[in-house]
Structure 1
Amino acid sequence: MQRRTFLQGLAAAAVAAPAATLLGQQEAVAAANYYVATTEQTKNKVLVFPKNKAFTDANVHWSFTPGGGAWANLSDVKIRATEAQGWIALVAASGGKAGIVDIGSEKHTEGNDLKWSATPGGNPHAIERVPGNGSVIVASSDGKLTLYAPTSVGNLGSLKQVQTVDYAGAHGVLWDPTFQLLWVIGKNRFSHYAVMGSGRNTRLKYAAHFSLGSGNLGHDLQPDYTNKHKMLMTATKGVYELLTDGGTFRSRKISSETKVKSYVKHSSGEVVSIRGDGTQPRDWANKTVRFSQSPDRARSGAQFYKARIWTTAFE
């Protein structure tokens, strides 16, 4: 494994943070050479690349290799910040596992770098952590949300299952810090929940459901980093914006393109997406990550399922 010093880690964090956060408005556009985190299912790795370089082994910025078994088919990765541990990666795998990886000390991480893991089962597709509370929620597409809560916010290793909530087709989950709500997307609907209590008494409390229409399985739920009052959703019948301005929650369709499995907008305005190519052995994946304002990036033999902006920001 390749070690990095603490100062190198700080430098990487500074480069990876959203451009508008670190730079003045005049420099933000020029700083759009950001990093993209992907779940690649052929070799079953989280692979992070600089957007403006080829997606080759030589250009990998960070990686996580969990192994196989219940870690097969990595389905989600999110980058989050903690006060106690610094940067972490939240990961979920369709084989049944979910976990938290320590980012700070190594470039190429493996299973022994997991700070915590669990087996929620049911084809886990997405994972999120609630800041200030420390709880973790896993969405499993077979129809449930699994809530894990710690004894204290900073104690990642103490996370333990405290609640299961039925949710048909659960595929995406995302925390909204503006309204302090947990958003979920699944079969024919998207919803939000309040996170109540603390420690092992934390619980999800249903708040509201919103329709996507019949026969419309939701796939992904991600930020629009240009607007804190927008989230982006993909589903069987297209791509949608979730609008939250004024506290009035509603959605609108922005594309009728089908098979879009991953869709996020960088602070520069560029959209990063993955569309299932319909070929076996994983017809939901693609060797190419698409960019709306830059050349697409393909990796021979790869099957990318999700692409995320390498940032700890929720919005």
Structure 2
Amino acid sequence: MRGTFKTIAECKPSEDGRRLLIASSSHGAAVIDRATGKVEFHATAMNGHSIELLPGNRVVIAASHVANGTGDRLSVYDLDRSGVELFHVDTPWPHAVIWDAARQLLWADSQRDVVGYRLTDWGTAAPRLTPAIVAPLPDSNGHDMMPVPDSPHLILSTAAHTWLFDRDTHQFAKHPRLGDAAKVKSVHVDPASKRLLWVQGEGTVWWSEVLHLHDPDTTITLPGEKVYKVRWMPPARPR
């Protein structure tokens, strides 16, 4: 299992920083208790790109495209049954999944759309994700997607732009700072400071050794690193 975490696609905090959610393009995914380091869940996820906790002690993993294998899907699992897929829905090149408790929707991006899924038959052993909202992307290849704190927006990067997606009106608008920024591989707004953090791919590669920050504008260089998705990490709170 260790070999499936060679290339981390996403490592993000959950539950006020008490858990870490990890997805790996080397085909792994895991939920880790941050205080103890205990692996609470793990699964094989072909070209794993994103992971999210769902109500009912469940987890969803976005497995992106692979030439041969079971990628291009969102897979649902019970948190206490590692590796046992309960359901999957096919979707092209998914890169991000976000649970929206206020709207009771799972948001996922793909090559073509942002989709809001309802949790259907969730109290049974055969849960399903049912598309409720389908918003075609203004351009192609949805990439990173994260909530903007204290707003209805998701910040979403695509191949050539960065957008704000309104979860109530389902409309897209260019981001005021990054609207015309191409190859943004990750973008996150700090819930505490509201400061913007992002990574842009360099040339033909999907990583960078430079982190960009806004308000105030500055950069942080990590020589030799191949940084893909960046996340603000809050202090871990006790359970």
Short-chain TM bin: 0.7 to 0.9
Return closer, same or farther for 1:138/1:95 CA change in 2, 3 Å cut-off: same
Q: Does 1:278 align with 2:203?
A: yes
TM (norm. structure 2) is: 0.86
Per the TM alignment, residue 270 of structure 1 is displaced from its structure 2 partner at its CA by: 1.4
List per-residue Cα deviations over 1:147-201 (Å, max 9, x = no partner). 11x2xxxxx3325311111101111111111101000111121111011212533
Which segment drifts farther, 190-199 or 231-240?
Answer: 190-199
Q: Secondary structure in 2 aligned to 1:201?
A: coil
CA contact (8 A) 1:135 1:202 kept: no
Structure 1 residues 199, 310: CA separation in 2 closer, same or farther (over 3 Å shift)?
Answer: farther
| Candidates 88, 95, 99, aligned match of 2:26 | 95
Aligned residues with identical type, % of pairs = 24
Aligned partner of 1:207 in structure 2 is 132
Q: CA RMSD in A?
A: 2.0
* SS across alignment from 2:11: strand
Equivalent in the alignment of 1:303: 226
* Aligned with residue 86 of structure 2, among 133, 151, 162: 162
For structure 1, which runs of at least 5 residues remain unmatched after alignment?
1-65, 151-155
Which amino acid is the alignment partner of residue 75 of structure 2? T
Displacement of 1:202 in angstroms is 2.4
SS of the counterpart of 1:306? Answer: coil
Q: SS at 1:70's partner residue?
A: helix
Contact 1:189 1:212 survives alignment (8 Å): yes
- 5 Å-filtered alignment, 1:102-251, equals 102-105=33-36, 109=37, 113-121=38-46, 123-130=47-54, 132-142=55-65, 143-148=72-77, 150=78, 156-159=79-82, 160-196=84-120, 197-198=122-123, 200-213=125-138, 216-225=140-149, 227-244=150-167, 247-251=168-172
Q: Kindly provide the amino acid, as one letter, of the partner of residue 185 in structure 2.
A: K
Of residues 90-99 and 196-205 in structure 1, the stretch that sits farther from structure 2 once superposed is 196-205
2:224 pairs with 1:290: no
Q: Answer whether contact 2:138 2:172 (CA < 8 A) is retained.
A: no
Instruction: Kindly provide the amino acid, as one letter, of the partner of residue 33 in structure 2.
Output: D
Could you list the per-position Cα deviations for residues 99-141 of structure 1 after superposition, in whole angstroms to 9, with x for gaps in the alignment?
1111013xxx5xxx322111022x11111111x3221111122
Residue 260 of structure 1 and its aligned partner are, at CA, apart by 0.1
| Structure with larger RCO (C-alpha < 8 A, sep 6+) | 1
- Counterpart amino acid of residue 233 in structure 2: W
- Residue in structure 1 matched with residue 14 of structure 2 by the alignment: 80
1:275 and 1:183 map into 2 onto residues whose CA distance is 23
Listed as ranges, the matches of 1:2-13 within 5 Å are none
Name the TM-score, length of structure 1 as normaliser.
0.66
The aligned amino acid for 1:137 is V
Higher helix share: 1
Change (3 A) 1:213 1:249: closer
Is there any run of 5+ residues in structure 2 with no aligned partner, and where?
66-71
Looking at structure 1, the residues matched to 96 and 135 of structure 2 have their Cα atoms a distance apart, in angstroms, of 14
Name the CA distance, whole Å, in 2 between partners of 1:70 and 1:158: 18
Q: Which 4+ residue blocks in structure 1 deviate beyond 6 angstroms? A: none
CA distance in 1, matches of 2:19, 2:206: 27
Query: What SS class does the counterpart of residue 164 from structure 2 fall into?
Result: strand
Instruction: Measure, in 1, the Cα distance between the counterparts of 2:125 and 2:223.
Output: 45
